[in-house]
Homo-oligomer: A and B are copies of this chain.
Amino acid sequence: MPSTTRTTPNRYADRMRDEPEVVRQILDEALVCHLSFVVNGEPRVLPTLHARDGETLYLHGSTGSRPMLAARSGEVPVCVAVTLLDGLVLTRSQFNHSVNYRSVVIHGRARLVTDVAEKRRSLAALVDHVAAGRSRDSRPPHDRELAQTSVLALPLAEAAAKVRTGGPADDPEDLGLPHWSGVLPLRLVAGVPEPGTDGVAVPLPAYLREYRRQR
């Protein structure tokens, strides 16, 4: 993906990764994104679910939410960020403390998905993003439900990843200080599935056993 003035960072340029497959992997692993837009000149940001289908990112929303309303009358400038935390990086100096992470920022103009076939496909992608295979093991939306849901589509044309990996990086003069340094790895894990209390008669499906985001 080509660099633009919007995707070129001012600092830590060595953390930039613009390979499309890195961008895709991060988007596919992250469960939520943060969608920002402008209302009356003021910034807004909210968390929402996303799903990637090829080079398009679909964003889930309720019909009455502000970006969805704005998108009714044309494309909406948005910026979307996705962040995965991989570890805390503790150094002897406070200054060199850091975080291991993988993030993607996408700039672009989002359009409201109005084509019914694309809307159904994008909603299935959103369900499958949360749990791969779930769309084939759940009831697709009725027309009325379809009308109550809005989906935005954002091209991945202007997307860039930033990745920090590795250990602590203390300055040489700090190495003798009496403080622990290292990495505390972090990951999102699933606990024991809790069936609903409304009479679930079906065993836990395979795609929810040993659930993990990392691929």
Would you call A103 and B47 a contact (CB within 8 A)? yes
Would you call B94 and A127 a contact (CB within 8 A)? yes
> C-beta contact mask, A25-39 vs B, less than 8 Å → 1, else 0?
000000110111110
Would you call B34 and A81 a contact (CB within 8 A)? yes
Would you call B43 and A36 a contact (CB within 8 A)? yes
Would you call B80 and A45 a contact (CB within 8 A)? yes
For window 164-215 of A, CB contacts with B under 8 Å fall at: 167-168, 170, 174-175, 177-205, 208, 211
Q: Could you say which residues of chain B place their CB within 8 Å of the CB of A205? A: 180
Q: How far is the CA of A198 from the CA of B89 in the complex (A)?
A: 14
Q: Could you say which residues of chain B place their CB within 8 Å of the CB of A11? A: 62, 64-65
Q: Could you say which residues of chain B place their CB within 8 Å of the CB of A103? A: 47
> C-beta contact mask, A90-132 vs B, less than 8 Å → 1, else 0?
1111110101010101010000000000000001100100110
**Chain B: minimal CB distance from A204 (Å):** 6
For window 34-71 of A, CB contacts with B under 8 Å fall at: 34-38, 41-47, 49, 62, 64-66
Would you call A124 and B94 a contact (CB within 8 A)? yes
Interface: A77 (CB within 8 A):
yes
Would you call A141 and B34 a contact (CB within 8 A)? no
Q: How far is the CA of A49 from the CA of B200 in the complex (A)?
A: 41
Q: How far is the CA of A6 from the CA of B66 in the complex (A)?
A: 11
Q: Which single residue of chain B is at the shortest CB-CB distance from A180? A: B202
> C-beta contact mask, A132-162 vs B, less than 8 Å → 1, else 0?
0011011111100100110000000000000
Some 5 contacts from A to B, beta carbons below 8 A apart, are A10-B66, A34-B45, A38-B41, A42-B79, A99-B130
